[in-house]
Amino acid sequence: MNDRLDSPGAATFSERIALLRGAMARENLAAVLIPSADPHLSEYLPERWQGRQWLSGFTGSVGTLVVTADFAGVWVDSRYWTQAEAQLAGTGIELMKMMGGQQSAPHVDWLAQNVPSGATVAVDGTVLGVASARALADALTARGIVLRTDLDLLDAVWPARPGLPEGGVYEHAAPHASVARGEKLADVRRAMQEKGAQWHFVSTLDDLAWLFNLRGADVSYNPVFVAHALIGLDDAALFVADGKVPNALAGSLARENVRVEPYARAGEALAALPAGSALLIDPRRITFGTLEKVPSSVKIVEAVNPSTFAKSRKTAAEAEHIRATMEQDGAALAEFFAWFEDALGRERITELTIDEKLTAARARRPGFVTLSFATIAGFNANGAMPHYRATDASHSVIEGDGLLLIDSGGQYLSGTTDITRVVPIGTITAEHKRDFTIVLKGTMALSRAKFPRGVRSPMLDSIARAPIWEAGADYGHGTGHGVGYFLNVHEGPQVISHYAPAEPWTAMEEGMITSIEPGIYRPGKWGIRIENLVLNQPAGKTEFGDFLEFETLTLCPIDTRCIDLALLRDDERAWLNAYHATVRERVSPHVSGAAKAWLETRTQPI
């Protein structure tokens, strides 16, 4: 991209970096670090905290910007290399490639090696996680470098910086919310008492939304709202901007001893905690700047937020709602693909058209609220970028020969969906089919796995990769992420990725929903990813303990036209045929006409 924004008269990115360097000089700073983060350590950020994007032009959801007097660079992993290279071109900002499996943060290592002893590095402590702050401080202090966390230079250089989001907060009500907030709060308080804490501070937005059975629209694609909460043994305070919680809802919360207070007072409430009391915090889910508000006389108890574990384990009622949601989502996909196959070659279809039509199909389904992330529709080489997104300025027409990758999902009142499918366009090659089949074998291998309850989720990653490794290929992202219940499409604590540490809190438990999405990406050629969501279910007990297995939740055909049948074993064919029979049985009642005919055709046994 060029070095100028689309809006008339906007400063170029190099001019913005120059403004930042001027502010740095006034504060006598050698370097400034701008993470992709907000005071809630969200993955997707409200506009106010999208400073890295505003300064650099790189729009990926993950990346870290470092600026010195003579250097500016954005660190990103392999999912974003191609995108970042294009978006940073001409800005004077370098692409810094992070390699998979690195145990330390490479931008921290770079700062320690390139900033002279005695100089000062600044980062806004209100958006820096406690664990990250500790690692940064340790690395810099060892080199005699000073770390400042009391500055937010974005306020000095971003003239029209957005304020706090203003969208309203609403109740996620029964029957979709199957557990009352009073019951959830009681469970959290029991966990607090077990750890000897009288107080618990929560900043992560999906934890708050789940815990209080509330939803909002402050973050794109995630039905959450910007807030903090301080939970005591008898009452709780929810800190949220004025006017966001309707009076009737505030009254309902008050009757359950939940006070609604101004967002800005969260720090004051922490500072006023009584001496000698104990505060439970999750160091991975709270910022350094927030923790600094806590008096030294208050004991800090560090543990994973109890709500993080609880919300990951869906109840039986929630699982039933999600199954029904998957049927509706599958019906939307059937309608879309029926239109797509009929229109291909007759209408002009672009990657943008796919997003538009697929979104419209979902919007017709009951309970649909919004997309769960920005649709990825990548044709041929664009599909080789795992986080590609078509824009008005840059997108492909779907014509000729090749593979089309579509990664999409929806937020429904009764669940969250996330699915990736790849379909053939025109004539595809034997190499296309070989890669597709290898990826499918990886998806099936993990989908069929049984494993001990409590196994650490990153350890399952190699099951999906084994067929891909055997073929001499690999992919640079994790195999699976947790998925919320009408909440964030990415949630923890579980993650299926050998890049993630196999810590105790990543244990697999009954009721968790996780994606399975291996892939193969050939830059400049094509990308293949096949993704389903699965639910952890009991698989029996033996003398070796309790075992779990996956129930595949996603209901959409896997395109058999892309398969090299010679590469499939009989048991793999049987699994795919059984899956397609289930898809046909569950989705058929929700479609008719062309969509039903398409579903019948695409679920025929092989």
The answer, yes or no, to whether residue 56 has pLDDT greater than 60, is yes
Of 126, 307, 302, nearest to 231 by C-alpha is 307
Can you give the pLDDT at residue 5?
43
Decide if 208 contacts 222 (C-beta within 8 A): no
* 522: enclosing H helix or E strand: strand 519-522
Q: Which pLDDT value is given to residue 104? A: 56
Burial 484-506 (b: 16+ CB within 10 A, else e): bbbbbbbbbbbbbbbbbebeeeb
Q: How confident is the model at residue 1 (pLDDT cuts 50, 70, 90)?
A: very low
CB-based contacts of 439: which residues, under 8 Å, 6+ apart? 468, 518, 519, 520, 528, 529, 530
Long-range residue pairs from 341-347, CB within 8 A, at least 24 positions apart, any chain: 341/598, 342/594, 344/398, 344/425, 345/399
| Per-residue pLDDT at 100 | 59
Identify the residue whose tokens are 């099936």. Answer: 444
506 residue type, one letter: T
pLDDT at 578 over 60: yes
Measured distance CA(25)–CA(5) in Å, rounded: 25
Both ends of the chain: CA-CA distance in Å? Answer: 45
Q: Which pLDDT tens digit goes with each residue over 230-283?
A: 999 999 999 999 999 999 999 999 999 999 999 999 999 999 999 999 999 999
Report pLDDT digits (tens) over 384-421.
988 888 888 889 999 999 999 999 999 999 999 999 99
Q: Token pair for residue 495?
A: 């993650």
By three-state DSSP, how is residue 44 classified? coil
Helix and strand numbers (H, E) in the chain are 18, 28
Tokens 């869906």 belong to which residue?
314
Assigned token pair, 54: 């505003």
Rounded CA-CA distance 527/514 in Å is 22
> Distance (Å, rounded) from C-alpha 263 to C-alpha 286?
16
Which domains are seen in the chain, by residue range?
A: 13-157 (3.40.350.10), 170-311 (3.40.350.10), 313-602 (3.90.230.10)
Q: Are 46 and 38 in contact (CB under 8 A)?
A: yes
CA 523 to each of CA 156, 244, 388, 528: distance values in angstroms, whole numbers, following the listed order: 40, 45, 12, 11
DSSP helix/strand/coil, 199: strand
Is residue 81 very low, low, confident or very high in pLDDT (cuts 50, 70, 90)?
Answer: confident
Using a 10 angstrom Cβ sphere, with 0-12 exposed, 13-18 middle and 19 or more buried, the burial of residue 19 is: middle
What is each CA distance from 242 to 166, 220, 259, 271, in whole angstroms? Answer: 9, 21, 13, 21
Name the strand (E) or helix (H) holding 111: helix 106-114
Query: Does the pLDDT of residue 102 top 70, yes or no?
Result: no
Q: How many residues does the chain have?
A: 606
Q: Could you give the percent of the chain with pLDDT greater than 70?
A: 97
Give CA–CA dist 464/445, Å, rounded.
6
Q: What residues are paired with 232 via a beta bridge?
A: 199
- Rg of the chain taking only CA atoms, in angstroms: 25
Query: What whole-number distance in Å separates Cα of residue 594 and Cα of residue 604?
Result: 16
Report DSSP letters for 258-311, one per residue.
Answer: EEEE-GGGHHHHHHTPPTT-EEEE-TTSSBHHHHTTS-TTSEEEE---HHHHHH
Provide the pLDDT for residue 68. Answer: 96
Question: For residue 7, is pLDDT > 90?
Answer: no
Q: What is the mean predicted confidence (pLDDT) over 446-458?
A: 97
Please, is 102 exposed, middle or buried when counting C-beta atoms within 10 Å of its C-beta (0-12, 13-18, 19+)? exposed
Listed in sequence order, the residues at least 6 apart from 391 whose beta carbon sits closer than 8 Å to its beta carbon are none
- Global confidence as pTM: 0.91
Query: What's the mean pLDDT when you consider all of the chain?
Result: 94
Q: Residue for token digits 């109740």?
A: 171
